[in-house]
Structure 1
């Protein structure tokens, strides 16, 4: 993945996230189109016009691998040629030149600085909606045996850090280990697709509790949602949120 493709992809992710943005009302969103200004036509990566209550804002978003003074001058010409409250956004690699940063700030140009990933694909697993299912009949019988009646038996509030044991109290695995075993089995082609997993046990398995009289409870299954995500994927919603915050700050909102 080269830098140019990385920044162009960031712009595309922003454009797709704009369609899902609910905090403001999008009036116009265009990607890779020509926009008519007062005096000329401009080729723009994204033109986004949105309303926040009674105020309308316009943003011009461009991808630039390197941001120079010349690139800023070009952006200034565009945003000054488009009527209304218009601000420019440049998606670029980190900018270290003070004169470039100072000019961008004074001209109403937001520098969204991103560092390209070193490798193209770094896959991570995201686990959600975890439900640990206990053997209710076993738990009821165990509580009756120790004289607890209906007193609840509390298990850990952080199930992924809990350990699993066999009938002899020997450590078998952790709940996180169960998650990891499924993550390793998933193909890269499934990246971005959420999978609902029901993990059952072939032999009796127990989870440690915080109760002195019932130190373990028997489990029947562990349910969870598993999604493989590319760690190098840019979160479009977060980028849009950042841009909105900067726009409102610039105009004193």
Structure 2
């Protein structure tokens, strides 16, 4: 988010996101066995993250810590409450139609949370994967992006340099973080050449399941996004993937 508070507390946010994932997975593990394993892995990672963050925060003065804690609570509430609520509703939805409607709400909640990771002029988008292997596309449908009012590129095709790179990272479940697009080859440059850094992560559960697409965030200046932001976008992609996998 480009603030000193965010730089100090990214680890806490990551750990909190993982704890949310663990809690939700445990709550519905009886119905969805794969969420149990997400819960186990996420809980372990969250524990380590919170321990490391606690060690770092010992050095913070009392007044600064109180101010940061209040800001942190507001941030986590804004980011996580809608996601937790919708994910829980999806898990207990009575009908397929109701579940599909809630999954659309989940997409918007996660895109909004992803946008909150970056500075004010960042932009987040959900790219849905379509088509058969060899002819796949990643498509950003209307309403599936928030943030900076530059309409994002809507389609990336398999067989093009940029499409192949995104699909490869999606298939491998490995997030892609480009810190400075000016260092990239010409074929990797965005169409309008406005944004200079971006993160893309697979929208898929943490366990073995098909990917549903890509969650991305981009911003105008190199340095606007960091490796800590990459971790958060990856976890948000897993949360959305977990929600879309429920059927």
Q: Shorter-chain TM-score category?
A: under 0.3
Q: What's the TM-score, normalizing by structure 1?
A: 0.23
Q: What's the TM-score, normalizing by structure 2?
A: 0.23
Give 1 or 2 for the bigger CA radius of gyration.
1
Choose between structure 1 and 2: higher helix proportion: 2
